[in-house]
Structure 1
Amino acid sequence: MFGIFKNLFGSTDNSALIEAIKEGAFLVDVRSSAEFSSGSVKGATNIPLDKITTNLSKFKSKKNIIVFCRSGGRSTQAKNILAQNGFKNVINGGTWHNVNEAIK
């Protein structure tokens, strides 16, 4: 079962995530604004998944982008949308708790 999640959401090795955070990555919480207001990662920007394509300009000129959500599903979709629009510097951080732990 774990292998399925590993294939869907990537390895649990957070070294790339931690390195990107140290380098000042653009942290994007793709959950709804209501979910975001109930708690998120310090310094994160809220761009809900359904608003990603209309906010592509906010991603331009960012060295590293980390997208995350509640379970990893929406962040996977967000990473795919960004990749389809030419962004190669996107990391799927999975859950916001995972990204929060990587910051510590």
Structure 2
Amino acid sequence: MINEIDSESLRKRLTDGEDLLLVDIRTPAEIAQGAIPDALLMPMHLIPLRLSELPKEREIVVYCRSGARSYQACAYLMQQGYERTLNLRGGIIAWARHGFPIESPTP
């Protein structure tokens, strides 16, 4: 079972200063259109190569465009022993629909 979080809950937890690690798994072309501030940019195909960058003790929120790829990525991370993994339901589309901040990534 994949745990999920909605945009409103994520925004509240970030605003409250909770120690969440946001991981944007979209392609560089998608990320160029904007990302959630402070997200770690890690295209989905690189996750197996960059697992060491993801601390198992932190809660990790994975997101993509719509929530489908990030759901699969959460399943993979859980198989690798990451128990504190959340999928952002609806992805960055849902986040943007609520008017929450999106910033252009720095190159």
TM interval, short-chain normalised:
0.7 to 0.9
- Aligned runs of 1:63-102 on 2, under 5 Å? 63-94=58-89, 95-99=91-95, 101=98
CA distance in 2, matches of 1:68, 1:62: 19
Q: Does structure 1 residue 47 correspond to structure 2 residue 27?
A: no
Kept after mapping to 2: 8 A contact 1:26/1:62: no
Instruction: State the SS of the aligned residue for 1:52.
Output: helix
Give the root-mean-square deviation of aligned CA atoms: 2.8
Q: Which runs of 5+ in 2 are unaligned?
A: 102-107
Q: Which runs of 5+ in 1 are unaligned?
A: 1-7
Q: Which has the higher helix share?
A: 1
Change (3 A) 1:62 1:14: farther
Report how many residues are paired. Answer: 96
Which structure has more relative contact order (CA 8 Å, sep 6+)? It is 2
CA distance in 2, matches of 1:33, 1:13: 22
**TM-score normalised by the chain length of structure 1:** 0.74
